[in-house]
Chain A
């Protein structure tokens, strides 16, 4: 059976429920990809019904189609370059007027449009009636009422897509809006010249090009200058137009165009489309916000929410974490029992199970943390946080929207700098974005959380929550201060517009939260299965080879033999098991000494000792040296390397002493050394993956700056902390 193929694009403003509808339509078929050269995610999915095969691409959410942000450029380019058969525009029907502003711009380009009026349940509840039929007639566009969170309107929407694709057959007809007596004649003139010269008409509608010139769209004008000499003529006309509009109404052409677009929408809605309601009415969200963003209560509630997230994560997450650790202990036991002693056993038990197990053990914590974060995001609380925090963030040269990438990176522990750095894309200012990207890796990401949890359990067993809280506060302080420093030195410049919508509170759907959470947790587990597995093996090899020379091993064997003989002579009556216990007790210090000697003899140990004169300034124990080197690959490796460093050659699989206990028992970890490692861990070079992400989001120059700068800064801070604390201890 042959299928008819339709290519459709899904568009909409932020918070319009576009993703929910996209998921409802494509089911589990969606695949994440990338637009070439940039890092905006490209989501694609398919919908099949009645012999139609509809390929759907999800455009980034934008309010408009200017060229000020990467998202807007992407959305526009997909429409212009890929020329989809149909564009679905999801619309927040509770804010119809503003939402149609984007729809009108799609109609100006000429794309065949299907409007999905989302949130119709909320509209009904607020006592407003929208005459769908009338709206459809006036716009001359099919309109479908939807409630995406319930999946309502999905089939009808897709039926309209099929119908529209059949009707238009790929033919685009841009609408001709009037932009008033000042601009219309000028537009007419420009359009005519563009048509005559066939100026960029292969890609764009002539009148649309003229509008973009009048709007001063940098990308179109730049492309125009490359396309031909007509550009200079058009720019001259634009300058003339600006003189006219300045003289007549003291404003610029782009302002007039926006006015007339809104005028068109407003006039249309007044023709009986929307009845009832009051556009300034207070809704439930406004009432909630009177408390949630209250002068005093707001910040208190925010602190409370953050604290609650901690509490829930660490208390609730402890149970599954324990089960997973038990599972890995059991697996290690199996490995020791069934794999013959030697390199393979050592590799699997110490290297792989020890390394990966330590990381996987933290998955439940990250799952719980992510679920709460996604919930707060979808609820709309994060926008309130940005609103409340902007004034503070601005002091440090950041933006209210920086809060989000910072939180994602681990401003609430459990995040990850990779999505954090990537989500800094929502920042329109290149400078604030750069400062955010460069400092976000200081935050306590999930990987560092694992390291800190282990260290905190070892050294501050009495108040783990308090210690973790202190680490997080320290992270924020460093991020803000360093941002300020960067914004007044290497990334100087003015701040950018804040202009932001505060969406109404909307209870997220269980499915939405689950899908997003699992996606992120899966990324983490994948990292554990690939990078960390590889690094665990490499680290194991680095710490195993070269082995101690035979004569050294022989001397340890001899000492063990002597110890055994001494035990036998001292306890002539002891036999069987009792004797074995006594012997192994006597031999243990010798074995430990041998293990330590072996590790120091290995490549890892040698690098560690080589760096020791330097790291001694910061008081690091030598195991931390190796672990911190390994952690550049992925911060989780810190825990697994420490585990390897402290358990390598362990003969007794029944020994349940956890890594934390072993650390606590090691006298090398004095309080100054502990604090020094804590600070260094927080600030030093981001992991490999983050460095790559930084390079992708900015360029390699900044990525290398991040590597070198963080390392130097972290070392200076660690040395300072070490020596300052030593004065008091």
Chain B
């Protein structure tokens, strides 16, 4: 015997079920922000309303659906769909609070700005539409905390969070995590997938707490420390200040941020193994060593160029190190104290900007919260190219692609190659589209690369002291927001999320045409 809304009566939709639960989690974040907003006396009711709407939508979706098929196509639909819906619903607090309803701006632009900020938040990109016309300092604590929380939730992944409380997914949950997590596959940290997800989130939470304490010790106030810890652990880059980290102009704050960003951009699997073995094993990992090498070399080059350009050597090292790390980890914080100051990389010589452009492409390590192509893919690409060139000299030799002592299977090498090709095509296509919408070459190309890599501020007119409103017209910003989603899910889930619905409709249409089959 079945009761209304018993499990059997529910609609078998993995996408709906996962999305509903994700919305419920989001509503918790909104609710916390609402409390802070009510206490601070700013936008509390708007956030409360947004939390209620989101919770209602979430419960509605979750209660009426159950976990259905979990083939590859459905996994992509579930993950892609969850992110699209979460990004759209995430704009509701901004709309209800009137955050972007600046006088003279049409409602369509206000909606687009709210959507952009929401997507930039959940994808942990850090690009913002706040700026001279609408300053961050004018926003209340509630909205600011909500903004930081969007990045924190997006950093480790909303779907990973869902997997922690959804036992019905069982082993298929790993597919969901794999589709959402940055990198070339996810390592199981525990025999059960749910336990793996819980471990990831525990590590993430622990890291956030440690970073917050670090910021407090370095001289930040409690609210700023917690807010920045949320966006540092997620390598997001949102700040509660218009000048970002440049507001403090403090070596201590910058040092904490640099260390924290490097840790957040390293593989969480490495952190977990280090934790369980009670010793640091990071330096034995080839990818992490490569990552540090890239950061070190780029810092050296940028600092030298800045010093040659007339900056004092110590200052050049500080500015160079901070900005290389913040872009090399896809953090996107800035230490410019104002337009034209030392940290405003748009004013740097062209050579330094080219190094930053390189860093925009490759982010951190696989299995981290960082965006970008990832150092591992760069290494595999180089090894594959070296093998191909070596093959000319040794045509009959069987040459494997190695990473350290491990031999990579050809299927993985092909997967990396395919990813690079699709990534390149998206960069070229996106640049042409964004430029066609009225953006200059450097801003367009760096904006597209930065959005795909979830980086934050870029070169050209959208630098660290500028807003994306200055650099890109509204339609171009929407294109960039879409690219942020594509980049956050490492391209394929977003591109393939419509395959399962298409199959469903095609099957239904066939059934209608040939009822007997």
Real binding pair: no
Interface residues of B (CB under 8 A from A): none
